[in-house]
A and B are shown apart, each in its own frame.
Chain A
């Protein structure tokens, strides 16, 4: 029987595929239109054995290929195979095949759904302490830990329904922490830090992303080359690259390359610089103009400094400073290689700055930090960094940032801009430092111009930050495929120093080092404060003041309005949206991911009352 090589309908991917033996028969052109639309695996399916009828692969689900002897339908099908004189036309046959397929799909879907429902309703058993003890000797394979982690996360997402009734939320979280730290190899306190910042599922994403390297990125040196020409030259050498992102005109992402990127003649002649995407953002936020006087307080090994000079077109002055001579030597080398002419390289402690030289138009501080965002580059951070390290770096960052602000020229015609950035995701080093500066100096936050980042936190645990904090930007490895980064842009309004209002200070946690200076100013006002607070509490208790939803205040409007209003009124307004001091954050409420539950005055109201009483 002559077999027509009908174009088979698209085969199911779940099915097996048989060996392909190609016959040299051409396909009929007349019936080709519809069939061509449908056929995907034309080549593969073209010439399977004679048993093959309607282009379906052999699966258990699809049992129509099994024909009984003397089956009329089969023989009909056989007959129908022939090109000429078919009882049912080709099109109709294909339509039938399609329908059958659809049915199959629906069936599968339903089955899947059922399976899922089963899984969802199945209760995950959290191992108790005793069970864990028993398990201590056994080497738990990572896959098991991973499974457990994922299941716990699922439970947390729908806690009410999925939980084991006897077990508390804390136990789940504790188990999650220990599992995560074991699986990824972190210190437990770092994991708890991440879980405070992220929801459990996001934390898992973050940790996963921190294990993998970020793509290699280079920045074109516009003083010597154009991105197009550079890309062409590199492609000629055998490099696989793409433009970095729509927000960057000079970045190139390298996928793979046959030649070492750090040793091509283009690199040596200074046409580009190896720089991560995250490091480009602070300089883009800084926007230095030609002819200005710019300070880069922590400039080694020179990537950002050279970008600054590039944007300034080699005009103006840049002072590149770093504490360590060895690293600064690399800066000198890089700057010369890239053809930068307007930089003075020096080696001072950043805290010396306004004394040594001041009145800069713009200042960039890429502060030394704990490096929690660049774990993908240096895995040892997982075990080396402790919360104490973070506090120490936070203290240093505050000092440096103060020096930087003081080095700015408030009356500069074009500037008075300071950009603060860190390669860390922790709140202590980012939003808290920024808040400290907002309290201490007459500066305000301005838009960084980086739309591709996430806004900074407005609140974190029991702390509340200035509403303009949402103008700062956070970058994460798992959402942006960049190193974890934070960028904040300040404008200096005047040289005055601020004495912070007492209420603000009280609400924040006063830890030893940080708030020393502030505390002194506050002592006198404490009595006043407590009275005011008492009054407010009374109001609240009597139900006059309605607890508002603890949503983020629309900060843009807020900042505009607030600039015009006198300070005290502003603080009053912000206070209303805050939580009251004295409410201990119960562990159970730690998890932000508890969907739908508002950690607000509303939901917490009756609980608060109880707590106070």
Chain B
């Protein structure tokens, strides 16, 4: 278990900034308790300081996870966000998309969100900007990438993709092995 190197931090922040933008500052300077990022076998964990104090006592090869897993570094050194980071992202999200109940299940199966399933979308979403997907009752369902910017979305035909799927809570059932 070790802190991130500068390069790794850079890659991760770039990925996070598409979803959270400047609010990464809040992640680093958490008001309630200081948190830090730690790397454990290619996975990045967002850990509070009290956990960090306890963690070194345990033998390093037995620890499976700490705090919240944000994502992992792939073999090609790219950073992939996991669905386990949804709570963290949701708190500081810049752009949100609300999906209609008709399209909810389809998204939870891993499909993209078509225009017909779009309920609401925040203004000013850039194309390929990171977006949190919520149900109409404000329950976070996952995250994705906006296929088009908000203005273009309004004029899109019903079958056109609004949000490209990146992660959804259905993965807890479909993809159990990947969570750890």
The verdict on A454 contacting chain B, using a C-beta distance below 8 Å, is no
Q: Which of B8-16, B60-68, B144-152 contacts A (4 or more CB under 8 A)?
A: B60-68
Q: What is the distance, in angstroms, from B132's C-beta to the closest C-beta of chain A?
A: 12
Q: Which residues of B contact A332 (CB under 8 A)?
A: 64-65, 69, 179-180
**Of B63, B68, B135, the contact of A265 (CB 8 Å cutoff):** B135
- In Å, the complex CA distance between A388 and B94 comes to 61
The verdict on A611 contacting chain B, using a C-beta distance below 8 Å, is no
**Of B48, B58, B169, B173, the contact of A319 (CB 8 Å cutoff):** B58
* A306-345 interface (Cβ within 8 A of B): 316-317, 319, 325, 328-330, 332-333, 335-337, 339, 341-345
* B14-32 interface (Cβ within 8 A of A): none
Q: Are B64 and A265 in contact, CB atoms less than 8 angstroms apart?
A: no
Q: Are B55 and A265 in contact, CB atoms less than 8 angstroms apart?
A: no
Contact with A along B124-157 (1 / 0, CB 8 A): 0000000000010101110000000000000000
Q: Which residues of B contact A337 (CB under 8 A)?
A: 84, 169, 172
- In Å, the complex CA distance between A330 and B177 comes to 8
* A258-295 interface (Cβ within 8 A of B): 262-263, 265-266, 268-270, 293
Q: Are A329 and B64 in contact, CB atoms less than 8 angstroms apart?
A: yes
Contact with A along B153-180 (1 / 0, CB 8 A): 0000000000000000110110011011
The verdict on A348 contacting chain B, using a C-beta distance below 8 Å, is yes
Q: What is the distance, in angstroms, from B64's C-beta to the closest C-beta of chain A?
A: 4
Q: Are B59 and A348 in contact, CB atoms less than 8 angstroms apart?
A: yes
Q: What is the distance, in angstroms, from B171's C-beta to the closest C-beta of chain A?
A: 9
A319-B54, A332-B179 known; A268 and B172 CB under 8 Å?
yes
Q: Which residues of B contact A333 (CB under 8 A)?
A: 172, 176, 179-180
Contact with B along A346-359 (1 / 0, CB 8 A): 11100000001100
**Of A263, A330, A335, A342, the contact of B176 (CB 8 Å cutoff):** A330
Contact with B along A29-55 (1 / 0, CB 8 A): 000000000000000000000000000
- In Å, the complex CA distance between A329 and B178 comes to 10
Q: Which residues of A contact B62 (CB under 8 A)?
A: 346-348
Q: Are B59 and A341 in contact, CB atoms less than 8 angstroms apart?
A: no
- In Å, the complex CA distance between A193 and B62 comes to 39
Q: Are A336 and B135 in contact, CB atoms less than 8 angstroms apart?
A: no
- In Å, the complex CA distance between A610 and B177 comes to 69
Closest B residue to A330 by CB, please name it: B176
Closest A residue to B33 by CB, please name it: A315
**Of A265, A342, A357, the contact of B57 (CB 8 Å cutoff):** A357
* B38-83 interface (Cβ within 8 A of A): 48, 50-51, 54-55, 57-59, 62-69
Chain A residues bordering chain B, tally (CB within 8 A)? 32
Q: What is the distance, in angstroms, from B174's C-beta to the closest C-beta of chain A?
A: 10
- In Å, the complex CA distance between A268 and B140 comes to 10
Q: Which residues of A contact B66 (CB under 8 A)?
A: 343-345
**Of A269, A317, A344, A348, the contact of B139 (CB 8 Å cutoff):** A269
Q: Are B169 and A268 in contact, CB atoms less than 8 angstroms apart?
A: yes
Q: Are A265 and B58 in contact, CB atoms less than 8 angstroms apart?
A: no
- In Å, the complex CA distance between A356 and B54 comes to 11
A265-B135, A269-B140 known; A344 and B54 CB under 8 Å?
yes
Closest B residue to A314 by CB, please name it: B48
Q: Are A342 and B177 in contact, CB atoms less than 8 angstroms apart?
A: no
Closest B residue to A332 by CB, please name it: B180
Give the interface centre of A316, A344, A347 by most chain B CB atoms within 10 Å: A344
- In Å, the complex CA distance between A293 and B141 comes to 32
Q: Are B58 and A348 in contact, CB atoms less than 8 angstroms apart?
A: yes
Q: Are A344 and B55 in contact, CB atoms less than 8 angstroms apart?
A: yes
Q: Which residues of B contact A317 (CB under 8 A)?
A: 50-51, 54
Q: Are A357 and B58 in contact, CB atoms less than 8 angstroms apart?
A: yes
- In Å, the complex CA distance between A341 and B50 comes to 11
Q: What is the distance, in angstroms, from A345's C-beta to the closest C-beta of chain B?
A: 4
The verdict on B87 contacting chain A, using a C-beta distance below 8 Å, is yes
Q: Are A342 and B48 in contact, CB atoms less than 8 angstroms apart?
A: yes
Q: What is the distance, in angstroms, from B118's C-beta to the closest C-beta of chain A?
A: 18
- In Å, the complex CA distance between A330 and B173 comes to 11
Q: What is the distance, in angstroms, from B31's C-beta to the closest C-beta of chain A?
A: 14
The verdict on B108 contacting chain A, using a C-beta distance below 8 Å, is yes
**Of A268, A293, A316, A343, the contact of B108 (CB 8 Å cutoff):** A268
Q: Are B139 and A265 in contact, CB atoms less than 8 angstroms apart?
A: yes
- In Å, the complex CA distance between A268 and B175 comes to 12
Q: Which residues of B contact A339 (CB under 8 A)?
A: 87
Q: Are A344 and B63 in contact, CB atoms less than 8 angstroms apart?
A: yes
- In Å, the complex CA distance between A337 and B82 comes to 12
Contact with B along A221-254 (1 / 0, CB 8 A): 0000000000001000000000000000000000
- In Å, the complex CA distance between A332 and B48 comes to 17
- In Å, the complex CA distance between A270 and B137 comes to 15
**Of A268, A269, A325, the contact of B173 (CB 8 Å cutoff):** A268
Q: What is the distance, in angstroms, from A361's C-beta to the closest C-beta of chain B?
A: 12
Give the interface centre of A265, A339, A356 by most chain B CB atoms within 10 Å: A265
**Of A262, A341, A357, the contact of B68 (CB 8 Å cutoff):** A341
Give the interface centre of B51, B59, B65, B66 by most chain A CB atoms within 10 Å: B65
**Of B67, B104, B135, B177, the contact of A341 (CB 8 Å cutoff):** B67
A336-B84, A346-B63 known; A293 and B180 CB under 8 Å?
no
- In Å, the complex CA distance between A64 and B179 comes to 78
Q: What is the distance, in angstroms, from A221's C-beta to the closest C-beta of chain B?
A: 12
- In Å, the complex CA distance between A270 and B104 comes to 16
- In Å, the complex CA distance between A333 and B176 comes to 7
Closest A residue to B46 by CB, please name it: A341
Q: Which residues of B contact A345 (CB under 8 A)?
A: 63-66
- In Å, the complex CA distance between A329 and B104 comes to 27
Q: Are B48 and A325 in contact, CB atoms less than 8 angstroms apart?
A: no
- In Å, the complex CA distance between A343 and B65 comes to 8
Q: Are B170 and A268 in contact, CB atoms less than 8 angstroms apart?
A: yes
Sample of 5 further A-B pairs with CB below 8 A, known A262-B173, A336-B65:
A270-B169, A330-B176, A347-B62, A348-B58, A356-B59
7 CB contacts below 8 A, A to B, read A263-B173, A265-B135, A269-B139, A269-B169, A316-B50, A333-B172, A356-B59
Q: Give the A-binding residues of B (Cβ under 8 A).
A: 48, 50-51, 54-55, 57-59, 62-69, 84, 87, 104, 108, 135, 137, 139-141, 169-170, 172-173, 176-177, 179-180
Closest 5 CB pairs of A and B: A268-B169, A336-B84, A332-B180, A333-B179, A345-B64
Q: Give the B-binding residues of A (Cβ under 8 A).
A: 233, 262-263, 265-266, 268-270, 293, 316-317, 319, 325, 328-330, 332-333, 335-337, 339, 341-348, 356-357
